[in-house]
């Protein structure tokens, strides 16, 4: 009998919460992330078959772990067991079978969350492409299905499935150890994990394509992963900086979209609709990052910029001078055309549109921004503020042609039409 809708929702909720720890614990035992996920999926299928009649267990995580472990033992017993590795794994699993709760209890009691941390570093290993890291992270740590990941990034489902399969094969072929790096390598690998989490969040905050301006579910998944990572590496300032940035940015999600799904830009948002609990959490995380000392990293600097907006009661009260100083520091730390474009917007707000336009015009020949729709969008906005409406219209039309996001395209076309109506 298939599960009812209520039972399916309950099981889905448990899976989202428990799957990452389940797969992490299994990976430690079987030493293969692909096999670990297969066993976890077997346990999920068993839950779908049994829980609708028996009810959700008091400790669903322990139930899933025990079931996955038993499936692993059965699978290895059915295999040839020719390889010594399989023999060692089977022996390890059988030794643990005496008390199925031990592994799960140990994972829950582990103060540093070693298994989760190892899984994060495995999913975000440099041997994988950025796209593969994102897909594998959402699959194994976010608990998302392949169709969910495909829908979120508007990529064909077979493409996502191939990325995940290839990522697992690549990790196995490279014999990537299931461990957290140490010393100098730890800092470098943390940066990779932070980058992946931020990419997931940013796609939810400003979707690159499709019919939705924002995808809150992706933001929630990224924020949850960021919070977990920050607690696993409590002495890493940039982990707290990223959490601060995401908390503050997420506070605006409801205000970023109008009743018909249309985009509402930052300066036009109703700040009464911002989530002030998320803002407070973000400011607290920012203080934590700053207290750890040392020079501020790129995520902490971006969080400090977001905090300037969050602290302003109205758009007019925004401290744009401080924001320009923070962008100056960010540009020196991580020079990039995108940072420079954002710096141009801040300079325009602080010192007038001409100051911003000077920076934007220097970016006109930048190859990395050739197909980036926000370059003509920003230039069009600054030209409109200077009364150069014919030029502004052309820039907005160019930006609309470049973007793949429908609500953003509609907004840019509307701005082009407004400039056309005001042109001499």
Q: What is the per-residue pLDDT across 159-192, written as a single tens digit (0 to 9) for each?
A: 999 999 999 999 999 988 888 787 777 777 888 8
Rounded distance between C-alpha atoms, residue 201 and residue 185, angstroms: 25
pLDDT at residue 104 in the model: 45
Burial class (CB in 10 A: 0-12, 13-18, 19+), 313: exposed
Alpha-carbon distances of 71 from 21, 59, 77, rounded to whole Å: 17, 19, 10
Q: Please report whether residue 220 resides in a domain.
A: no
pLDDT at residue 106 in the model: 47
Q: Please report whether residue 1 resides in a domain.
A: yes
pLDDT at residue 153 in the model: 79
Q: What is the per-residue pLDDT across 2-29, written as a single tens digit (0 to 9) for each?
A: 667 677 788 888 887 788 888 988 888 8
pLDDT at residue 93 in the model: 54
Q: Please report whether residue 191 resides in a domain.
A: no
Full residue range of the structural domain in which residue 44 is found: 1-109
Number of domains in the chain: 1
Q: Please report whether residue 316 resides in a domain.
A: no
Q: Please report whether residue 84 resides in a domain.
A: yes
Count CB neighbours of 413 within 10 A: 15
Q: Please report whether residue 262 resides in a domain.
A: no
pLDDT at residue 3 in the model: 63
Q: Please report whether residue 297 resides in a domain.
A: no
Closest CA to 152 of 140, 134, 129, 165: 134
Q: Please report whether residue 293 resides in a domain.
A: no
pLDDT at residue 97 in the model: 54
Under-50 pLDDT residues of the chain: 81-82, 84, 98, 100-102, 104-112
């Amino acid at each position: 009998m298939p599960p009812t809708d209520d039972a399916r929702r309950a099981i889905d909720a448990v899976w989202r919460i428990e799957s990452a720890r389940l797969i992490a614990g299994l990976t430690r035992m079987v030493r293969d992330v692909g096999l670990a996920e297969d066993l976890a999926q077997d346990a999920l299928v068993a839950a779908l078959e049994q829980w609708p009649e028996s009810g959700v267990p008091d400790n669903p995580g322990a139930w899933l772990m025990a079931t996955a472990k038993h499936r692993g033992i059965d699978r290895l017993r059915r295999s040839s067991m020719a390889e010594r590795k399989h023999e060692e794994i089977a022996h390890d699993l059988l030794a643990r079978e005496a008390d199925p709760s031990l592994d799960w209890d140990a994972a829950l009691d582990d103060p540093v969350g070693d298994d989760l941390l190892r899984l994060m570093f495995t999913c975000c290993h440099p041997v994988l492409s950025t796209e593969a890291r994102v897909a594998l992270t959402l699959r194994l740590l976010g608990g998302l299905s392949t169709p969910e990941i495909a829908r979120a990034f508007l990529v064909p489902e077979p493409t996502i499935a191939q990325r995940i399969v290839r990522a697992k094969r690549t990790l196995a072929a490279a014999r990537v150890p299931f461990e957290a790096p140490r010393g100098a390598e730890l800092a470098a690998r943390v940066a990779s994990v932070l980058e992946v989490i931020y990419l997931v969040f940013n796609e939810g905050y400003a979707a690159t394509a499709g019919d939705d301006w924002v995808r809150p579910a992706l933001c929630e998944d990224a924020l949850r992963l960021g919070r977990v990572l920050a607690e696993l590496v409590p002495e890493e300032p940039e982990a707290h900086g990223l959490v601060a940035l995401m908390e503050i940015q997420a506070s605006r999600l409801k205000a970023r979209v109008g009743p018909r799904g249309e985009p509402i830009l930052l300066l036009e948002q109703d700040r009464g609709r911002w989530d002030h609990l998320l803002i407070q959490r973000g400011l607290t995380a920012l203080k934590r990052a700053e207290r750890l000392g040392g020079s501020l990293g790129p995520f902490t600097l971006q969080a400090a910029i977001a905090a300037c907006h969050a602290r302003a009661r109205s758009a007019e009260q925004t401290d744009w001078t401080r924001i320009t100083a923070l962008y100056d520091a960010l540009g020196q730390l991580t020079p990039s055309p995108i940072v420079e474009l954002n710096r141009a917007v801040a300079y325009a707000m602080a010192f007038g549109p001409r100051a911003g336009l000077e920076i934007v015009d220097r970016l006109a020949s930048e190859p990395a921004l050739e197909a980036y729709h926000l370059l003509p969008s920003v230039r069009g906005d600054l030209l409109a503020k200077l009364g150069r409406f014919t030029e502004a219209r052309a820039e907005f039309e160019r930006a609309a042609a470049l973007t793949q996001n429908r609500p953003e395209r509609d907004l840019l076309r509307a701005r082009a039409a407004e400039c056309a109506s005001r042109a001499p």
